[in-house]
Structure 1
Amino acid sequence: MIRSHFISHDGVTIHYLTSNEDSTSVPLLICPGLSETAEEYIELMEYLAPRKCIALSFRGRGLSDTPDRGYGLDEHVADIEAVIADAKPSRFHLFANSRGVSYALGYCDKHPSNIIQSLILQDYPAEHKAMPEGWADEYIHHYLVPFSRQRNIRQEAVRGIAEESIAKRFSRGIHKRLLVLRGKLEGSLLSDEDCRRYERLCVEASFAAFEHSGHDIRNTEKDRLYRTIYEFIHPA
């Protein structure tokens, strides 16, 4: 059901997973969050069967390479481009979580074409954030090491993201069906104004609020999250 692939571009090898490759339905391309890997989405991929899914691990994460440099928005968008070029979907739904939202929107900004059938964006505003001073050490010592996630994202990647990320607010209109998933408890990264901005960017924007979740919706309301994704992209 799940197949593993490696694609090299610009000297960096990116790992991605596919499921149900013989399916004729429109596939779902998954852009994980900051420290997430493709493997963390296998359960969702299985839930959506028999739909084909494609999930990548961005540079510095999972089984993908960890280059010395190249952790800005453009390089992460290039990871998505490389996976799409290798997997060759004629069109796809695009789902992104947390920091992956900015990478997905960066791709959409660069490729405003009909290949993207719809967008699902989870708990992140329409912007690529620069990291504040001291963020890398805080993230490594208070999250990455205590929660044993060094194999999910390497410290070199965390420091590269801190050094190379430049703030950008996405302003291009989103001319797709859009579903924004939002946690309602403390810890959510989406404000009311962020949601209004999505409404201004997309006339087809809809919203799903998760009343019992902060930012990590998958760990608090997984069943409803998976069902919401399924219903939005079904039967296309």
Structure 2
Amino acid sequence: MGYYVTVEPGVKLYVEDINPESSKTIVFLHGWPLSHKQFEYQFNVLPNMGYRCIGIDWRGFGKSDKPISGYSFDRLADDVRAVVDVLQLDDFTLVGHSTGGAIAIRYMSRHHGYGVSNLVLIDAAAPIGFSAETAARFLDQALNDRPKMMREVTENFFFQYITEPFSEWFLQLGLEAAGWSTAAIIITLRDEKLYSDLPQIHVPTLIVHGVHDKVIPFEQAHELNQQIKHSQLVPFHYSGHGLFWEERDKFNKLLRKFIG
């Protein structure tokens, strides 16, 4: 089922909630500039295996409201906390991909991991996000030719071959976002760092990262593994930045094994 949760006056987030009667809950945070729909190939499988899968569209993206402000990691983490409180979630696994991984890390530090029993970071944009050069290029495109930017994102995202229909579907996911929120997150990824957040994570953490990732270098996964206690790193040798699709069977099995 899908519904909206108010996270602050005038701002509602779209939440996709599949198999809500299950006691094993996984909360998914998508990457920039996508939506919960990127996890289609998890939502197809995991609910049938007894998991409750909750996908949250951040503010400014997917089906959520698109205010002009509120795109710092602090505010985005607070939005997640608001959803957790409204849904009364506890003992759940928090999964974040790319920028969603950065938001998950900030949630763990800012809200002391409230309700989270396990953390999964997929190609996380941490402890740093975009370089100044990359951010400048994306920002220029986002403000002047966003479809071109999204085409470049799509072309660099995957290591394995994708069909033209899949590429078009993926591109459209990014264009569901507002232009201003797309640009705002680029600035956040350029300016905000997460080094001080990492030692504050105290739950079992699974770090998965595509060896061929052109968006967030694989070396950053090693840094996360070194800085986060009780973490394990599993490389995905046939993936770029999209292992949740490129090696979806491996990822889904690994996620189930990690959660239990």
Q: When the two structures are superposed, what TM-score results if normalisation uses the length of structure 2?
A: 0.80
Which residue in the other structure is 1:168 paired with? 193
Q: 1:94 to 1:186 in 2, by over 3 A?
A: closer
* Partners of 2:19 and 2:79 in 1: CA distance: 22
Contact 2:127 / 2:194 at 8 angstroms: preserved in 1?
A: yes
User: Cα distance, 1:128 vs. partner?
Assistant: 5.0
Alignment of 1:1-236 (within 5 A): 3-10=1-8, 11-25=10-24, 27-49=25-47, 50-113=50-113, 115-127=115-127, 129=129, 132-139=135-142, 140-144=146-150, 147-163=171-187, 166-172=191-197, 173=199, 174-187=201-214, 189-192=216-219, 194-234=220-260
Q: 1:70 to 1:23 in 2, by over 3 A?
A: same
Question: 1:13-35: CA deviations, max 9, x gaps?
Answer: 1001111111123x111111012
Which residue in the other structure is 2:157 paired with? none
Question: 1:58-109: CA deviations, max 9, x gaps?
Answer: 0111110111122111221122112111211122111110111111111001
Q: 1:154 to 1:199 in 2, by over 3 A?
A: same
Listed as ranges, the gaps of 5+ residues in structure 2 are 153-170
| 2:241 match: secondary structure | coil
* Partners of 1:81 and 1:24 in 2: CA distance: 19
| 1:203 match: secondary structure | coil
| 1:28 match: secondary structure | strand
Name the structure where helix makes up a greater proportion of residues: 2
User: Cα distance, 1:230 vs. partner?
Assistant: 1.5
* Partners of 1:164 and 1:211 in 2: CA distance: 29
Listed as ranges, the gaps of 5+ residues in structure 1 are none
User: Cα distance, 1:212 vs. partner?
Assistant: 0.9
User: Cα distance, 1:46 vs. partner?
Assistant: 3.5
Q: Name the stretch that deviates more: 89-98 or 37-46.
A: 37-46
* Partners of 1:181 and 1:215 in 2: CA distance: 10
* Partners of 2:240 and 2:52 in 1: CA distance: 29
* Partners of 1:113 and 1:181 in 2: CA distance: 20
* Partners of 1:100 and 1:52 in 2: CA distance: 19
Q: 1:125 to 1:148 in 2, by over 3 A?
A: closer
User: Cα distance, 1:113 vs. partner?
Assistant: 4.1
User: Cα distance, 1:160 vs. partner?
Assistant: 2.3
| 1:176 match: secondary structure | coil
| 2:63 match: secondary structure | coil
Q: 1:143 to 1:224 in 2, by over 3 A?
A: farther
Contact 2:57 / 2:64 at 8 angstroms: preserved in 1?
A: yes
Q: 1:15 to 1:125 in 2, by over 3 A?
A: closer
* Partners of 2:217 and 2:137 in 1: CA distance: 23
Q: When the two structures are superposed, what TM-score results if normalisation uses the length of structure 1?
A: 0.87
Tell me how large the CA RMSD over aligned residues is: 2.2
Runs of 4+ aligned residues of structure 1 deviating over 4 Å after TM superposition are none
